[in-house]
Amino acid sequence: MGPRRCYHSPGFNLTCDYPSNGKPPRLLLGDGAFEVIHISLENNTMRVASHGLQDINMSSSGGRYSWSLGGVPLPFILERFRNEFILSMCNVQATLLANGGIVSGCASFCALTVETQIVGFFEHDGSKKTCSNIGCCQSSIVMGYEAYDVELKRLDGGLPVKNMMGGVDVLIAEAGWFDEKLAMDLHSLDLEFVSRRKTGLLVPVILHWALPHGEAFTDYDKRPCPADAAGRATCKSVNSQCRYVGQSTLRGCFGDCEELPGTFRCRCPEGFQGNYTIPGGCFKSVNPGHSGLIIGLSVASGPCMLVLVLGTLLIIRELKQRKAKALRRKFFTQNRGQLLKQLVSHRADIAERMVILLEELQKATNNFDQTRRLGGGGHGTVYKGILSDLHVVAIKKSNIVVKREIDEFINEVAIMSQINHSNIVKLHGCCLESEVPLLAYEFISNGTLSDHLHTEAPRSLPWEERLRITTEIGKALAYLHSAVTIPVIHRDIKPCNILLDDALTAKMSDFGASRYILVDQTGVVATTAVQGTIGYLDPMYYYTGQLTESSDVYSFGVLIVELLTRRKPSLYISSEGDGLVMQFVTLLAEGNLAKILDPQVVEEGGNEVKEVATLAMSCLKLRTHERPTMRQVEMALEALQTPKEVCNGSSVI
C-alpha cells in the first residue's frame, strides 16, 4: 500500500497479496493471518475473514479454555454488539469471560435421539435464527477484547458432551452471518459440508481499532500525534488509560479524559454537559449569564405551579365523584329501581329497610375482600359483612351482569319482601347502586344441611334431628304454597339450599329460581323455562315445562330419601343401573328397604322410618295429581313429632 513501515504502528500494516494461481488479489492485515473485507473510517471498524472456528476436546465434566484472535495485532479488539458467540454442543452451559468479568454466555440442549437432535439443531424459529438452544446456541458479545476464556460446564442429566460432529465447536463471528450465510447449507443437513467447514471455512469478524493500555511505541512512532477537528489528540502517551480514536475510546470516555496515577477521570468538555459515556452525549450548556434569570423565574413560578397542581387534583377528584354518582344512578335504573319501589310500596316498613347504600355494603365486606367470601351458588357469590347497626349479614352478589340475572335478582327481592317465617332466611335489604345487584340476608353461621349430612365420619345427624329438620322444611314449603299473599314455588329444593343455625334449626334459602304461582282458568300453571338441579327435578316439569306446586313436593320427596339413605341422588347409581329414587321405590315395594338405608337411621329410627319412607314415596309419584300437597305433608310430619309410647323390638322391613 506504500513504502515499508509507512503506518501508524504495528498492526496497521496492510499488504496486497497476488496469488500465483490466478485467483483475485487479497488485502491482508498484519502478518497476513486475516483477509480484509471492508474498512469503515466512520466508526473505526474493519471486517476481516478468519478461521474463527475452534474445535475443543473437553472433559466430560467441563473446564476452562482459551480463545483468541490468533494473529490479530494488539491495536485491534472485537467490536462490541456486532459479533456473536456460537457453540455447537449438547447439554452444556458456556460462559465467555474476559478481563475478570462475564462477557456473554448461553446453554445448549439436545433431544434423546440423534435424529431429533439434528432436526432441532437446524430448525428455524421464524426469526432467521439457526440455533434455538437445541444442539447449538448463540449470544451477543457486549464487550470487545482481543482474547477470551471459554468456561464450559456440563448440565446434569444430559447426554454425553458432544454434538453430531463429535466435538465441541466454539465460533465467534459477525452477528447475523451464521444465520443468513449458512442457514440454507445447514438446513440441507449436509454433514460433509459441516465437516469441511471445520478446517477450511472463513468466518467474518468485525474488529475495532484502538490503542490499548501499555503499548510501547517504537522510534518511528514518536512523531507528533495527529489531531481531530476539535483539536484533541487521537493518541496519547504510553500507559495512558484512555485514548481517543476518532470519536470513540477504548475505555468508554467520550469527553475530556484526565490522566491520574493508575486510573483516569472523564468529564464533558468545559461549556458542555450531559452523558460523557456515549458518543454525542455531551451538549452545549446554557449561557451562564442567563442562569440568574432562570433561577429567578423558577422561584417566582414555584407557587403558581403548586396552585395549578392542587387545582388540577381537586378538579379531577370532583369529576371522579360526579362520574361515580352518575354510574350509581345508571345502575339503579338498570337494576329496575322503579320496579322495586312498586313492589314494596304497599308496605312502608319494607320499603324503608330495603334500601342499603353501596358504600355501607363495601365497608361491611372490606370492599368484597376474598377473605370475607363464604361460598357461592348458581345465582351468586356470598360474602360475610357487618352493617353499621352491627347486624351480621350474608351479602349475595350476582355472578353475571346480564338481563336474566337482574330479573332473577328483582324476582328474589319481590318474593323475600313478603316472607316472614322462622324457617326461611330473613332479607335485611338490597342495594341497586352497583353494576351487580346485591342482597343482604341474615347470617347463618353453621353451614348447610349437606355439610352436616355428608360428613366423612361414620355417623351423621341423629334421627331425631333429621326428622325435625324434615318437618321444618315441610312447614316452610307449606307456608310458601298457601300462607303468603301470592303463593311461591321454590323450584330448587336440595340440602345445599337449606342452612342450619347453631341450634340446627333449618333455614330455607336461595330464592333466585323461585316463581309466583300464576294459575290460568284451567288450573294449569303457566309454562316456564325449566330450572332446578338434576336429581331433585320433577320429571313431569322437566318433560312438559309446566311448573306446579307438586314440583316442589317431588323435590321434597327426594330430600327425604337423601336424609334416610345419606346418599346423593346426583351421584348414586345402583348395580342394576338405577338412580337413587328408583332404587328406593323398588326396595320399599319389595320390603327390602333396609338394604339402602343409612345404618344409623335403621338403628335409631324404629317404626318412624317406615312411615317417613312411605310419605317420601307418595311425594315421588310420577303423576302430579297423585302427590299430596305440602300442607298434607306438613300435617303428616307433625303427627310423627307428637309424643307417643316407645315400641320395643321395632324394626324396619
Residue 86 and residue 215 in contact, taking contact as beta carbons nearer than 8 Å: no
Cell 339402602 maps to which residue?
Answer: 596
Instruction: Quote the CA–CA distance of 185 and 232 in Å, as a whole number.
Output: 49
Instruction: Quote the CA–CA distance of 186 and 194 in Å, as a whole number.
Output: 8
Specify the DSSP class assigned to residue 597: S
Instruction: Quote the CA–CA distance of 618 and 609 in Å, as a whole number.
Output: 14
* Stretch (H or E) spanning 214: none
Specify the DSSP class assigned to residue 219: G
Distances (CA, A) of 69 to 30, 48, 87, 543: 12, 11, 17, 86
CA angle 246, 79, 68 (to 5 degrees): 125
Q: Which of 27, 31, 30, 34 is nearest to 8 (CA)?
A: 30
Distances (CA, A) of 612 to 134, 466, 624, 648: 72, 11, 20, 19
The torsion of the CA quartet 316, 320, 326, 329, rounded to 10 degrees, works out to -150
Instruction: Quote the CA–CA distance of 395 and 377 in Å, as a whole number.
Output: 13
Residue 605 and residue 565 in contact, taking contact as beta carbons nearer than 8 Å: no
The torsion of the CA quartet 626, 632, 634, 639, rounded to 10 degrees, works out to -110
List the grid coordinates of 177. 452471518
Residue 206 and residue 78 in contact, taking contact as beta carbons nearer than 8 Å: yes
Three-state secondary structure string covering 62-131 = EEEEEEECCCCCCCEEECCCCEEEEEECCCEEEEEEECCEEEEEEEEECCCCHHHHHHHHCCCCCCCCCC
Show the beta-strand stretches assigned E in 231-276. Answer: 244-245, 248-249, 256-260, 263-267, 272-274
List the grid coordinates of 102. 462475564
The torsion of the CA quartet 243, 246, 247, 249, rounded to 10 degrees, works out to -20
| 492 included as an active-site residue | yes
State yes or no: 23 annotated in a binding site.
no
Neighbours of 267 (CB within 10 A): 14
Among 169, 179, 492, 538, the one annotated catalytic: 492
Neighbours of 252 (CB within 10 A): 12
* Stretch (H or E) spanning 151: strand 147-154
Report helix angle 463-482 to 607-619, nearest 10. 30
Point out the annotated binding site for ATP: 403
Active site members = 492
